[in-house]
Amino acid sequence: MSGLVLSLTDRQPRHVQSRAIAAVNLQRERERDHVRSIRTTGNPVEVEYRDKPASLDAWYRAQPVKPGRINPRLVLSADEKRLYGLPASARLVDLRGMGDELDHWCVCVFPVLHGYVVGVKAPTGDGGVGVFWRKSYKASDYAMRLSVEYGFPIQERYA
């Protein structure tokens, strides 16, 4: 359905396109919440996620650091991965210490062994969270998605 809606709006003005995309994303999120509530309780109940951070980076920054550790534990459930638009097999990687330190926020793509790490990197050593991708075209697509969502430039792009 979403492919049909988006292809019909291609010929419409920009504000119509953005409203259509927002409506499709809202519908998908409600369907996910509905399925999750049925799985947990067995009864279809409407669930609203007001406490869910808006982005993966916001989720990372909201994680508590346990005593004796330096970084938060980077683990998402399968449902949380779906909410952030990630595949169920996605692995999260801390971006602290990866690449050059920059004085501005940016979307970074790092080639690593057997794949690529893509994420939003904070300035001056604050780190961030990235997602490991095996295929270069998937890493490139995710980097473009992050760049559009945040409005940050892509610092390195290998795809």
Dihedral angle, C-alpha 6, 8, 14, 17, nearest 10 °: -40
So what's the pLDDT on residue 159? 40
So what's the pLDDT on residue 86? 86
Contact (CB, 8 A) for 154 and 143: yes
Taking the whole predicted model, whether its pTM rises above 0.85 is answered as: no
The token pair that represents 71 in the structure block: 């970084």
Q: What parts of the chain have a pLDDT lower than 70?
A: 1-11, 41-51, 64-73, 125, 156-159
- Name the residue ranges covered by the structural domains of the chain: 1-50, 52-159
Give the DSSP letter of residue 50: S
> Mind listing the pLDDT tens digit for each residue in 129-143?
889 999 988 988 888
The token pair that represents 72 in the structure block: 């938060």
